[in-house]
């Protein structure tokens, strides 16, 4: 079975996870343990208000029909979406979250031996899937304001390019490309290039220069817009996403689509949530309040932050961010670090109580200095990332003991064992020179590094750009 056929057969699952379950992760997120308490989980950009009340009612009402298969291709939901967005049903595909939809886009548009162009740092689903399918990924840099740079993107496009994928607003920086920049970029692209725009955070945007790229689709432009019900609608656990684009593009994606991947209850929830404008308004209002509270406190603390148009933000804590994230974790607050931004935390907005606790711990850190030692092992984000010639991988093991630190490629194949011995208790680090087990130079692409210490395992992602 080819890689394309294999990935196409996994639907909402992850091909890499099936190849090596111990390396399972979504979009570069490290996996270490199952969470049972969600208070303080400010790391996944979830909606702290939960699902739309209308969606909860729809789920409850449809539960008695759970013994019957769902509408195989979510035709009733597509009809609702078509009416809501003023497009035809033939221009829509619905999947198990934006995860499946972006995977279908990779299956349709990423050509083996060709290339796709994506900004970095940004959401990694499409480039990772494209690379798995045999396409090379060309990464453009963000500009000085942490925005996607359309000129830098366009400069990487050549005759081998089949797609550009942009997250707008961008994840993790929370910045937007203006409607004019998107339009100009689309118009400048060769006809063979699909411009994919992931608008997962569309509902949160206040920047007046921003407009959804759905307008370009209605004008017949070469654009595919991806949306999700996971964010403002609060249905992350229900797994519902969709894409809107040219009808022939949707047909190409549908050729890889497994039927029945969106449950009956999820479809009912999405239909009801779609028109619950009050829930969206309440969600955005809380998000605005939470961000402003944090931004005001950052000014008091003398911390720089990146103005965000999403339900998360990045703050420069003026020291290695992992130190601060460790202290926050000890207080039950989970945030994200990485993306080659060693001093930045990415923090999702939660309830006001959660944000107040986050700021209180941050203030304590500013006054108290170095945090205490983490109670359990930690695998830190490598630095630098992306990597050109070498990178440092750091970890913390409170009790020492046997440590196994290994690097794998996107296909789950072992590239290098960096350490397989007893480690001293505390903080440790080791450099990787981007060479494989036999001294051969690793090629550009996505890689995963995994730490094992006793029963603890954790995996993170890095990108090589030679």
Q: pLDDT tens for residues 262-308?
A: 999 999 999 999 999 999 999 999 999 999 999 999 999 999 999 99
Residue 24, domain member (yes or no): no
Are 85 and 165 within one domain?
yes
Tens-digit pLDDT profile for residues 323-333: 888 788 878 89
Are 124 and 146 within one domain?
yes
Are 230 and 331 within one domain?
no
**pLDDT above 50 for 162:** yes
Q: What is the predicted pLDDT for the residue at 356?
A: 94
- Residue 183's nearest CA partner among 158, 150, 231 is 150
3-class secondary-structure state, position 372: coil
**The tokens 């939470």 sit on which residue?**
290
Tens-digit pLDDT profile for residues 134-144: 999 999 999 99
**Domain CATH code at residue 331:** 3.90.1150.10
Give the residue from 313, 344, 368 where a domain finishes.
368
Residue 415, domain member (yes or no): yes
What ranges in 224-351 are assigned the alpha helix state H? 247-254, 264-274, 277-301, 321-330
Residue 373, domain member (yes or no): no
Are 290 and 149 within one domain?
no
Are 435 and 452 within one domain?
yes
Dihedral angle at the C-alpha atoms of 424, 459, 28, 261, nearest 10 degrees?
-160
Q: What is the predicted pLDDT for the residue at 19?
A: 39
**Domain CATH code at residue 436:** 2.60.40.4070
**pLDDT above 80 for 434:** yes
Are 227 and 108 within one domain?
yes
Pick the range with the lowest mean pLDDT from 41-55, 154-168, 383-397: 383-397
Task: Read off the tokens for 236.
Answer: 């992350």
Q: Is the separation of the CB atoms in 363 and 304 below 8 Å?
A: no
What angle is formed at CA 313 by the lines to CA 119 and CA 376, rounded to 5 degrees? Answer: 95
Dihedral angle at the C-alpha atoms of 450, 44, 386, 126, nearest 10 degrees?
100
Strand ordering across the sheet containing 115-120: 92-95, 241-244, 223-228, 194-198, 161-167, 115-120, 136-141
Q: What is the predicted pLDDT for the residue at 365?
A: 76
For residue 151, the tally of other CB atoms under 10 A from its CB is 12
**pLDDT above 80 for 238:** yes
**In this predicted model, which residue has the larger pLDDT, 399 or 322?**
399
**pLDDT above 70 for 368:** no
Total structural domains within the chain = 3
Give the residue from 254, 274, 294 where a domain finishes.
274
Q: What is the predicted pLDDT for the residue at 359?
A: 94
Residue 6, domain member (yes or no): no
**Domain CATH code at residue 182:** 3.40.640.10
Are 166 and 209 within one domain?
yes
Give the residue from 274, 292, 319 where a domain finishes.
274
**pLDDT above 50 for 253:** yes
Residue 300, domain member (yes or no): yes
**Helix-, strand-, coil-residue percentages of the chain, each rounded to 5:** 35, 25, 40
Q: What is the predicted pLDDT for the residue at 68?
A: 95
The pTM of this model reads 0.84
Report, in angstroms and rounded to the nearest whole number, the Rg of the chain calculated over CA atoms: 22
Q: What is the predicted pLDDT for the residue at 366?
A: 72
Are 257 and 151 within one domain?
yes
Q: Is the separation of the CB atoms in 377 and 427 below 8 Å?
A: no
Are 297 and 424 within one domain?
no
Residue 38, domain member (yes or no): no
Q: Is the separation of the CB atoms in 457 and 379 below 8 Å?
A: no
The DSSP call for residue 224 is E
Tens-digit pLDDT profile for residues 339-364: 889 899 999 999 999 999 999 988 88
**pLDDT above 50 for 431:** yes
Are 128 and 218 within one domain?
yes
Residue 10, domain member (yes or no): no
Are 330 and 355 within one domain?
yes
Q: What is the predicted pLDDT for the residue at 379?
A: 87
Tens-digit pLDDT profile for residues 110-149: 999 999 999 999 999 999 999 999 999 999 999 999 999 9
**pLDDT above 90 for 338:** no
**In this predicted model, which residue has the larger pLDDT, 193 or 23?**
193
Mean pLDDT of the 33-57 span: 83
What is the residue range of 125's domain?
Answer: 53-274
Are 108 and 204 within one domain?
yes
Pick the range with the lowest mean pLDDT from 161-175, 210-224, 358-372: 358-372
Q: Is residue 371 very low, low, confident or very high in pLDDT (cuts 50, 70, 90)?
A: low
Residue 39, domain member (yes or no): no
């Amino acid at each position: 079975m080819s890689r394309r056929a294999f990935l196409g057969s996994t639907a909402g699952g992850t091909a890499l996870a099936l190849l090596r379950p111990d390396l399972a992760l979504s979009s570069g997120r490290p996996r270490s343990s199952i969470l049972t308490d969600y208070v303080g989980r400010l790391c996944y950009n979830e909606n702290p208000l939960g699902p739309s009340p209308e969606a909860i009612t729809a789920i409850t009402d449809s539960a008695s029909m759970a013994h019957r298969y769902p509408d195989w291709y979510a035709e009733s939901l597509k009809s609702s979406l078509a009416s809501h967005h003023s497009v035809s049903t033939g221009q829509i595909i619905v999947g198990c979250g934006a995860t499946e939809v972006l995977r279908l886009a990779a299956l349709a548009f990423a050509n083996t031996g060709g290339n796709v162009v994506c900004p970095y740092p940004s959401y990694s689903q499409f480039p990772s899937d494209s690379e798995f399918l045999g396409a090379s990924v060309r990464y453009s840099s963000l500009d000085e304001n942490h925005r996607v740079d359309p000129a830098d993107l366009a400069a990487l496009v050549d005759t081998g390019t089949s797609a550009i994928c942009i997250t707008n607003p961008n994840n993790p920086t929370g910045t937007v490309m203006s409607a004019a920049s998107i339009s100009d970029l689309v118009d400048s692209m060769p006809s063979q290039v699909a411009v994919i725009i992931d608008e997962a955070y569309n509902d949160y945007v206040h920047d007046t220069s921003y407009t959804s790229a759905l307008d370009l689709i209605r004008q017949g432009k070469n654009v595919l817009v991806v949306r999700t019900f996971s964010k403002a609608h609060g249905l992350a656990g229900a797994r519902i996403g969709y894409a809107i684009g040219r009808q022939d593009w949707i047909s190409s994606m549908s050729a890889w689509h497994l039927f029945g991947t969106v449950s009956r209850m999820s479809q009912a929830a999405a239909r009801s949530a779609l028109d619950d404008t009050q829930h969206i308004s309440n969600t955005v209002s809380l998000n605005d309040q939470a961000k402003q509270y944090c931004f005001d406190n950052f000014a008091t603390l003398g911390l720089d932050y990146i103005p965000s148009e999403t339900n998360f933000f990045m703050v420069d804590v003026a020291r290695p961010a992992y130190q601060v994230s460790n202290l926050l974790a000890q207080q039950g607050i989970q945030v994200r670090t990485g993306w080659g931004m060693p001093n930045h935390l990415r923090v999702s907005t939660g309830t006001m109580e959660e944000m107040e606790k986050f700021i209180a711990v941050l203030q304590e850190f500013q006054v108290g200095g170095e945090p205490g030692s983490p109670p359990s092992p930690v695998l830190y984000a490598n630095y630098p990332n992306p990597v050109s010639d070498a990178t440092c991988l750091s970890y913390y093991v409170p009790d020492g003991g046997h440590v196994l630190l290994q690097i794998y490629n996107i296909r789950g194949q072992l590239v290098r064992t960096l350490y397989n011995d007893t480690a001293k208790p505390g903080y440790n680090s080791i450099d990787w020179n981007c060479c494989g087990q036999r001294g051969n130079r690793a090629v550009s692409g996505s890689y995963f590094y995994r730490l094992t210490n006793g029963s603890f395992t954790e995996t993170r992602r890095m990108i090589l750009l030679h």
